[in-house]
Structures are given as C-alpha cells and as structure tokens.
C-alpha cells in the first residue's frame, strides 16, 4: 500500500526532477495527535458582526491566537488600511502574515453569515486572498455562512450560494496540505451553536486531514461540546460492522481512542482478525453476517447484554463485485445490494423499532464517491452507496424527534487492501486525482465518522461528508 511515487518526489533528485517537470508533489498531511495544538499557527478571522465576535471567543477558548480583519474591501486604486478591529492583536491585513510569534498562519476563518448580496462577498474574500501566501503547511481555510434556500430573496440566495463556488475553487488553489471547507448554518442557527463550533474544531484540526472542498450543514442548535475534547465519546457504546480489517478496524480504533466502548462485528470467517481488533480496542467481538434476518436483534442483544447501551452504530461493512452492466449477473448484483444497503435497512428497522435505544442515537453509514458521481463497472455498488445516502436522509428525519442523527461519510480513494489490488497505472492516476494529490488513510475516514458520532455533531443530521481530498469526480 506504500505510495512509492510520494516517497520518490519527496527527497533528493526525485524532488528536483518533479519540480522541474511540474509533476505533483504531495506532502505528508498534518494528522491529529492527542495533546497537539488545534492548528499549527495563529488564525486570521475575517469578517465583522456578532457571528465573527462569537467565533473569536470560541477560538481564544481553544488557545488559538486570533488576528482580526473586518474584511472591508480597499477603495479602488487606494491602499488597504490595516483595518484591524479594536480587539485585534493583528498586524496590517495585507499580508496578514504572522502572529505574535512570527509563525505562519495556521488558518483563516471567514465569518460570512451576514452576506446579503453578491457584492458583499468582495471585502472578506479579497481580505482572505491577501493572506493566503502567509498560510503555513496543512493550514485550514474555513468559511462560516448561511445555507441558501428557496425561501431566500434571489440576491440573498445568490450571495449564499456564491460561497459554495468560492470555497470549492479556493480549496483547489491551496497547496502544501492546506484544505478549505465550509460550515453552512440553517436559518436561526447561530455561529456559536454547539455543532457549528464542533464542526469548526473538526475542520481546523488534524482530524480532517483528507476532508477538502466540503461543507457541513448545521441544521439545528442541538448538540453539546464534550467536557474533554480529547475524549469526545467517553461513556458511549458503539457498534462497528466490517471491523476485522481496513477502514472498519480503523473506525474501531478511533472510536476507542476517543473514549467509546466498541463492539466489532464481522463475518465468522474473519473471526481471528476480529478478535485481534476487539482485544486491541478493549472491546467485544460479535461474529455475524449482517445479511442474516436476525442481525439487528443480535447486535442489540450483544450491546445491551455486554455493555448496557447502544449509542452509536457505524454501518461500514461493504463489498464490491464490479462488472460492466452489459455483463452483470444476478449474483453480483444481488450480493452487493444485500450487504451494502438491504442489511443496513433491516438492522435499522430492528434497532429503531425496538424502543430500547436511548435518546441521541447516532447512526453513521459509509457511502462512497461512486454513489455520488457514479463509476464505470459499478452500477450495483453505486446503487447501494447512493441508496445509503437516501437512507440516511430519510432516517435523519425519523431520528430528529429523539435528538438522534443519521449521516453518511463518502470516502474517495483510500489506501486499503481493496485499492492496493487496482492495477498500478490505474491506481496511480486515481490517487492523484484530488487536490491533495494522494490517497487518504483509513484513519481519515475514521476521524470523520468519530466526529459525526459525537454529541458535538448533534445538530448535524442528514449530511453526506466526503473524505476524498476534493476528488475531481462528482460534486
Ligand atoms: P474491506 O474489504 O477491507 O473490509 C470490509 C469488511 O467488511 C471485511 O472485514 C469484510 O469481512 C466485512 N464484511 C463484508 N461482508 C460482510 C457481511 N455480510 N457481514 C459482516 N461483515 C462483512 O473494505 P474497506 O476498503 O475497508 O471498506 C470499508 C467500507 O468503505 C465499505 O463499505 C466500502 O464500500 C467503503 N469504501 C471504501 C473505499 C476505499 O477506497 N477502500 C472507498 C469508498 C468506500
């Protein structure tokens, strides 16, 4: 699974050659380490108003050095005034450059929640643009804006939707492992609502290393920030299917690291590896084929009998049986549908209908970029993964009353045994087709799932979060 190309262009004559030929030069991404600072330098906060002020307070509460720029457009032909707000410790906004320590910027946060017309975007966006050259490696750009809706006046809808185009383009202009992502607030949800801050923390941190060019929508003011940000899942019981290896094993390790008690589920044939994962995470193993009619009851019984609760369910188990549709046979089609979506629906039915889940149940399901953009040879797989997206949206509505949530994570190219089997040339191209020019790690998918499974994400439901390094396929 080694990415030999990245090794080659990272040092010596390989690096010089890549530079001369203009070849992709992927960098090692900043990933979460317990105890490490949230961001790798000061954060420039662009924008004015109550939302921006609330974000400043939150950032400072997380020990982040904050520089302020109100984001006022310079008069045409004139020079830009420093424009720092009274509370600011900021140097002139252009270039926003370094903080007190002289360090490169760790990130830029744009408070765009008050934009009302497309013309309002120029001040803050151009202010952010002036600071881009001061960003350090693996820096973060995060927009905080309002979700546009059909109820908005056309100019308001245009301004809000404009943020989408800006962010997705800007993310493609960043380099050295830096990413750009956005938070969309529903009407009435404040910039410092628990899940807005939870999402901001996630997007600034190394936990979101391979999330790029994406938006998280905060639909409600529900949710709660954890008492201990290093153990956001303390006291929770989580079940992860397909956890004997690959992404599932990484999810189990990450949920356990974050404080959850984890039940790992996989087919009896994978029993040995499953037991190893269970031991490693100090959880319990349940050997179970999830397509069995009684799978839901078995999962519920195990979780309640061994751990006294079931708070989080991660549907990760999945298979591929690729064939062009012209050559597709019923066995390939049916098995993919059975494992990847029909089993999930049946298990959900058993769990949600049992009356034995507590409030605030969190469901996270693994979809795929193939389910969004389609993929040659994968009509069956894409049907199942697009089905997962439909399922979480519908289930989100059903869980809303009890404070529960349902979300999907859609991985792009992830370095696993599955993708290691792709022929060399195809694999090499697939790996580079994203803004970060590399494949993601199972850990990157696991981090996104751990966030969506936490109470900090309680106001986020019915979302599909891509973990794909801003893969060129699909939206
Ligand atoms: P993997 O094949 O390495 O692991 C899947 C696990 O699911 C295996 O341990 C397998 O035994 C288990 N499983 C399969 N059928 C099962 C069943 N009926 N009951 C119980 N367990 C079962 O796959 P992975 O690459 O780790 O993928 C995990 C998930 O991520 C899948 O849903 C996959 O579709 C999705 N995904 C992977 C990638 C990628 O690049 N690897 C990209 C997008 C989506």
- Indicate the domain borders of the chain: 4-11+27-73+89-218, 237-467
- Look at residue 76 in the predicted model and tell me its pLDDT: 64
Average pLDDT for 205-218: 98
- Look at residue 99 in the predicted model and tell me its pLDDT: 60
**What would the pLDDT profile of 40-97 be if each residue is shown by its tens digit?**
999 999 999 999 999 999 999 999 999 999 998 766 654 444 444 434 444 444 444 4
pLDDT at residue 455 greater than cutoff 90: yes
Q: Could you identify the residue written with the tokens 């889940």?
A: 357
Look at domain 4-11+27-73+89-218 and name its CATH class. Answer: alpha beta
Give the residue among 434, 413, 463 at the shortest CA–CA distance from 198.
Answer: 463
- Look at residue 358 in the predicted model and tell me its pLDDT: 87
pLDDT at residue 124 greater than cutoff 70: yes
- Global pTM? 0.94
What torsion do the CA atoms of 49, 52, 53, 59 make, to the nearest 10 degrees?
Answer: 180
Q: Is the minimum distance from the CB of 246 to ligand 1 under 6 angstroms?
A: yes
Tell me whether residue 32 is one of the annotated catalytic residues: no
Q: Is the minimum distance from the CB of 312 to ligand 1 under 6 angstroms?
A: no
State the distance from the centre of ligand 1 to the C-alpha of 394, rounded, in angstroms. 23
State the distance from the centre of ligand 1 to the C-alpha of 409, rounded, in angstroms. 13
| Residue 98 confidence class, pLDDT cut points 50, 70, 90 | low
Tell which atom from ligand 1 comes closest to the C-alpha of 339.
Answer: 18
| Residue 13 confidence class, pLDDT cut points 50, 70, 90 | confident
Q: Would you say the CATH fold of 237-467 matches that of 4-11+27-73+89-218?
A: yes
- Look at residue 376 in the predicted model and tell me its pLDDT: 92
Q: Is the minimum distance from the CB of 338 to ligand 1 under 6 angstroms?
A: no
Q: Is the minimum distance from the CB of 414 to ligand 1 under 6 angstroms?
A: yes
Q: Could you identify the residue written with the tokens 């600071």?
A: 131
What six digits make up the tokens of 463? 């979302």
pLDDT at residue 2 greater than cutoff 90: no
Phi, psi of 363 (to 5 degrees): -110, 130
pLDDT at residue 267 greater than cutoff 80: yes
Tell which atom from ligand 1 comes closest to the C-alpha of 413.
Answer: 40
Tell which atom from ligand 1 comes closest to the C-alpha of 246.
Answer: 26
State the distance from the centre of ligand 1 to the C-alpha of 195, rounded, in angstroms. 29
Question: How is the beta sheet containing 312-315 ordered, strand by strand?
Answer: 284-287, 261-266, 237-241, 312-315, 362-366, 405-411, 464-467
**What would the pLDDT profile of 386-426 be if each residue is shown by its tens digit?**
999 999 999 999 999 999 999 999 999 999 987 888 888 88
Phi, psi of 341 (to 5 degrees): -140, -40
**What would the pLDDT profile of 145-188 be if each residue is shown by its tens digit?**
999 999 999 999 999 999 999 999 999 999 999 999 999 999 99
Could you tell me if 216 and 199 are in contact, meaning their C-beta atoms sit under 8 angstroms apart? Answer: yes
**What would the pLDDT profile of 187-199 be if each residue is shown by its tens digit?**
999 999 999 999 9
- Look at residue 362 in the predicted model and tell me its pLDDT: 98
Average pLDDT for 207-223: 98
pLDDT at residue 383 greater than cutoff 90: yes
Question: Per CATH, is 237-467 categorized as 3.40.50.1370?
Answer: no
Tell which atom from ligand 1 comes closest to the C-alpha of 289.
Answer: 19
Catalytic residue among 5, 32, 361, 381: 381
* Averaged pLDDT score across all residues of the chain: 93
- Look at residue 21 in the predicted model and tell me its pLDDT: 78
- Look at residue 16 in the predicted model and tell me its pLDDT: 81
State the distance from the centre of ligand 1 to the C-alpha of 275, rounded, in angstroms. 17
| Residue 320 confidence class, pLDDT cut points 50, 70, 90 | very high
pLDDT at residue 356 greater than cutoff 80: yes
Could you tell me if 259 and 232 are in contact, meaning their C-beta atoms sit under 8 angstroms apart? Answer: yes
């Amino acid at each position: 699974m080694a990415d030999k190309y990245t090794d080659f262009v990272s040092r010596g004559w390989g690096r010089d050659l890549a530079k001369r030929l203009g070849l992709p030069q992927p960098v090692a991404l900043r990933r979460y380490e317990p105890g490490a600072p949230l961001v790798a330098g000061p954060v420039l906060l662009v924008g004015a108003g109550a939302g921006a002020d609330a974000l400043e307070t939150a950032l400072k509460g997380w020990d982040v050095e904050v520089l302020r720029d109100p984001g006022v457009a310079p008069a045409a032909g004139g020079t830009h005034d420093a424009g720092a707000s009274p509370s600011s410790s900021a140097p002139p906004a252009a270039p926003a450059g370094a903080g007190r320590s002289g360090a490169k910027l760790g990130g830029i946060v744009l408070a765009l929640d008050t934009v009302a017309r497309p013309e309002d975007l120029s001040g803050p966006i151009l202010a952010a643009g002036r600071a881009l050259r001061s960003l350090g490696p693996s820096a973060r750009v995060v927009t905080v804006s309002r979700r546009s809706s059909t109820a908005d006046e056309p100019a308001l809808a245009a301004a809000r939707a404009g943020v989408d185009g800006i962010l997705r383009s800007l993310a493609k202009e960043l380099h050295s492992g830096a990413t750009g992502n956005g938070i969309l607030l529903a009407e009435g949800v404040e910039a410092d609502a628990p899940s807005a801050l939870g999402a901001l923390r996630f997007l600034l941190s190394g936990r979101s290393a391979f999330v790029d060019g994406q938006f998280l929508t905060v639909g409600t003011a529900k949710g709660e920030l954890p008492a201990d940000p290093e153990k956001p899942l303390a006291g929770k019981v989580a079940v992860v299917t397909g956890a004997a290896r690959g992404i599932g094993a990484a999810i189990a390790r990450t949920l356990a690291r974050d404080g959850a008690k984890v039940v790992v589920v996989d087919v009896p044939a994978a029993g040995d590896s499953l037991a190893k994962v269970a031991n490693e995470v100090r959880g319990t193993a349940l050997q179970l084929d999830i397509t069995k009619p009684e799978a839901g009851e078995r999962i519920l019984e195990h979780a309640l009998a061994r751990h006294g609760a079931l708070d989080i369910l991660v549907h990760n188990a999945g298979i591929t049986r690729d064939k062009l549709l012209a050559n597709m046979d019923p066995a390939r089609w049916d098995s993919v549908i059975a494992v990847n979506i029909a089993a999930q629906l049946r298990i959900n039915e058993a769990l949600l209908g049992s009356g034995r889940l507590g409030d605030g149940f969190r469901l996270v399901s693994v979809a795929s970029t193939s389910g969004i953009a389609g993929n040659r040879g994968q009509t069956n797989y894409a049907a199942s993964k697009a089905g997962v997206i439909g399922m979480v949206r519908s289930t989100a509505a059903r869980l809303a009353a009890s404070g529960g949530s349902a979300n999907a994570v859609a991985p792009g190219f992830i370095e696993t045994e599955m993708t290691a089997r792709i022929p060399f040339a195809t694999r090499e191209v697939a790996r580079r087709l994203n803004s970060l020019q590399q494949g993601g790690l199972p850990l990157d998918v696991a981090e996104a799932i751990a966030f969506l499974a936490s109470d900090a994400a309680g106001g986020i439901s019915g979302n599909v979060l891509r973990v794909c390094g801003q893969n060129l396929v699909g939206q």
